[in-house]
């Protein structure tokens, strides 16, 4: 499970570098997220811009991470692809999670001319 964490001034941003969060990787996802967010920072923003598919196991894993973080931190979602956004709307999880249209820009993004 390829997750990259990037501490920012007001949040910990975790970028998911996978195409899917499904039954095959749900447990790995939960474990990696718990490791990365062990130090509560108030806000954890999950960048899902590269994720094109989430099944019920993946959704359950994301909810599990949210419960693990509470009450010390909140889990926010960002940059949902159309398919992933549809899953969150159909399950009404879009009313449970704060969802942002875009993820915070990475200071380490090689596309920034670095």
For 61-85, write each residue's pLDDT tens digit: 999 999 999 888 899 999 999 999 9
Does 42 map to a domain? yes
- Tell me, what DSSP letter sits at residue 38? S
- Digit-by-digit pLDDT tens for the chain (114 residues) are 899 999 988 899 999 999 999 999 999 999 999 998 887 668 999 999 999 999 999 999 999 999 999 888 899 999 999 999 999 999 999 999 999 999 998 765 544 433
Does 112 map to a domain? no
Does 37 map to a domain? yes
Strand order in the sheet with 43-47: 3-7, 12-16, 43-47, 74-78, 99-100
For residue 4, the cross-strand partners are: 15
User: How many domains does the chain fold into?
Assistant: 1
Structural tokens at position 35: 């490791």
CATH of the domain at 10: 3.30.750.24
Does 26 map to a domain? yes
Does 110 map to a domain? no
For residue 45, the cross-strand partners are: 13, 76
How far, in Å, CA of 41 to CA of 108, rounded? 20
Give the per-residue pLDDT at 112: 40
- Tell me, what DSSP letter sits at residue 27? H
In terms of residue numbers, what domain contains 72?
Answer: 3-102
């Amino acid at each position: 499970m390829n997750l990259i964490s990037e501490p920012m001034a007001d949040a910990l941003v975790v970028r998911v570098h996978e195409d899917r969060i499904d039954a095959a990787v749900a447990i790995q996802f939960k474990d990696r997220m718990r490791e990365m967010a062990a130090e509560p920072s108030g806000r954890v923003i999950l960048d899902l811009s590269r994720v094109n598919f989430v099944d019920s196991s993946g959704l359950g894993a994301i909810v599990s991470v949210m419960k693990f973080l509470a009450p010390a931190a909140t889990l926010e979602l960002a940059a949902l692809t159309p398919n992933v956004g549809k899953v969150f709307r159909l399950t009404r999880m879009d009313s449970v999670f704060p969802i942002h249209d875009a993820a915070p820009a990475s200071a380490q993004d090689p596309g920034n001319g670095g």
